[in-house]
Structure 1
Amino acid sequence: MEDNRGGIEVETVKRNTLARQVVERIIQLLTSGQLKPGDKLPPEMELIEMLDVSRPVLREALSSLETMEIISRRPRGGTYFNSKIGSKPFSLMLALAAGNLPAIIEARMTLELGLVTVAAEKITDEQLRQLHGTIEQIARSTDNNYGEADKEFHRIIALSANNPIVEGMIDSLLMTHDKMNSHITYRERDVTVQFHTNIYEALARRDPHDAFHHMYRHLKYVRDKLLTAQT
């Protein structure tokens, strides 16, 4: 069933997983081109009628969209799609696929393998110094609690690509890192140090092929470790 008010068409939703379906239907307003970034959404009561859901379900969905930075709600001013949605192109899909660990791992590999090859050509001496510093932090770790230093290593590489479009992917990359990190049951400090050192040395040589190779070996190792633990 579809409803049409004011030229906007949106499908009503089924009674299971209502809030998630509402999120998807509202996003369809963007993907279909009926509304654009920066546009105002229909009023709450109109959305309730169009989607055939209760107010609590709609508000739960709107809260999720706000958390994902897809919309902004202004006191007494209505709800708007954020004007810079396109700057974070993967955050929405990562949120919707929150329970699909294999897909999240593949998304991270897709992003990071591309970023590391660009980084090999553009990384600065200062960023290389910072990168080496994170490796030293991990190597000095005595309790294997080096998750933040690990994350910083990958963040520096992403930032070193120095591309305003790519910048929108960095938060998504870190989201995948956090999600994978939450599934790690044991850490291997020396293994991590070796992988990171290999990547660092390839970047220091400005060798994109070697950087890609060592990053792939690193991420594949983590992927296999996590997926084996899931079985």
Structure 2
Amino acid sequence: MSDAASPQPLGRLARPRLYEQLVEQLLGYIESARLQPGDLLPAERDLAERLGVSRATLAQALVALEVLGVIDVQHGTGAVLRHRASVASVIKGLREHRSRLPDIVEARSTLEVKLAALAAERRTDADLAAIDAALSAMQAEIDDGDRGAHGDELFHQAVTAAAHSPVMAQLMAFIGEMVLETRLESLAQPGRPEQSLASHRGIADAIRARDAAAAAAAMQRHIELVSDVALLK
């Protein structure tokens, strides 16, 4: 009899996540429809019906493609193809992005919590005006049916500026692109723009009151809120 070792049992293959399946289907549609960069994808309602998923689920899959630069989601227009990408490269990019999320949250907690505390101690009237303008911009975007991503970005930039810490501002600029990724994904979730805006107002109130401890605590709660991205779990 042969003494050859018995073959090892095959491990169970991990089931693709729903958003990965959706991304694959969306890329398949782009290929079959022969869409070219600059072409508009069908409306979310039509796409959701074709794929048999809710619009909320589809919206998060579209944001995943937006983060990777495959499409550009424009308010009032829809999803526009930026470039055609292979399924393998996109899935690889999404998995790498998902694995980075804890590191991004850790960096934000380290930097932005301290920046909020410093802003409460060092802010000027001009800094407060910039923070209030950012809140108003985000409110206007949400009222218009948008996600509020630009106002969100302006708010965090205003808090960073109010801290008057050039080195920490440079560190925030370094992680800016990664923060933008999580911002888009977070704000795409139902009800999140309004929650994020309310959270911003709490941070602003603490900065206005010159309460460094409250500002730090409010920023930490905010980061925990916006880092809860269902799509990437």
| TM-score bracket for the superposition, by shorter chain length | 0.5 to 0.7
1:129 aligns with 2:133: no
Aligned to 1:229: 231
Displacement of 1:186 in angstroms is: 2.2
1:148 aligns with 2:134: no
Separation of aligned partners in 2, 1:176 and 1:123? 26
Given that 1:199 and 1:214 are in contact with CA atoms closer than 8 Å, whether structure 2 keeps it comes out as yes
1:153 Cα shift?
0.4
1:122-160: CA deviation from partner (whole Å, max 9, x where unpaired): 111111111111111222222223111101100111122
Between Structure 1 and Structure 2, the one with more helix by share is: 2
Q: Quote the offset at 1:179 in angstroms.
A: 2.2
Q: What is the distance in 1 between the residues matched to 2:183 and 2:105?
A: 11
Q: How many residues align?
A: 133
Following superposition, the deviation at residue 209 of structure 1 comes to 0.6
Match among 219, 223, 228 for residue 219 of structure 1:
223
Task: Label 1:209 to 1:102 Cα distance change in 2 as closer, same or farther (>3 A).
Answer: same
1:166 CA drift (Å): 2.1
Structure 2 vs 1, CA of residues 100 and 134 (structure 1 numbering), >3 Å: closer, same or farther? Answer: same
Contact 1:105/1:180 (<8 A) preserved: no
Equivalent residues in 2 for 1:1-231, closer than 5 Å: 99-141=99-141, 142-184=144-186, 185-186=188-189, 188-223=192-227, 225-226=228-229, 228-231=230-233
Aligned to 1:28: none
- Counterpart of 1:183 in 2: which secondary structure? helix
Q: CA deviation at 1:220?
A: 0.7
Give 1:173 shift.
4.3
Greater RCO structure (CA 8 Å; 6+ sep) = 2
What is the rounded CA distance, in whole Å, between the counterparts of 1:172 and 1:138 in structure 2? 23
Cα distance, 1:198 vs structure 2: 0.7
Distance 1:104 1:175 in 2: 10
Moved over 6 A (4+): none
C-alpha deviation, 1:165, in angstroms:
2.3
For the 8 Å contact 2:147–2:193, the answer to whether it is kept is no
Separation in 2, partners of 1:176, 1:208: 26
Q: Which amino acid aligns with 1:169?
A: L
1:101 positional shift = 1.3
The percentage of counterpart residues that share the same residue type is 23
TM-score by length of 2: 0.53
What is the CA deviation profile of residues 9-64 of structure 1, one whole-angstrom value per residue up to 9, with x for unaligned ones? xxxxxxxxxxxxxxxxxxxxxxxxxxxxxxxxxxxxxxxxxxxxxxxxxxxxxxxx
Shift of 1:229: 2.7
Can you give the 5+ residue segments of structure 1 that lack an aligned partner in the other structure?
A: 1-96
Deviation, structure 1 residue 219:
0.8
Letter in 2 for 1:139: Q
8 Å contact 1:159–1:170 — kept in the other structure?
A: no
Report how far residue 110 of structure 1 moved: 1.1
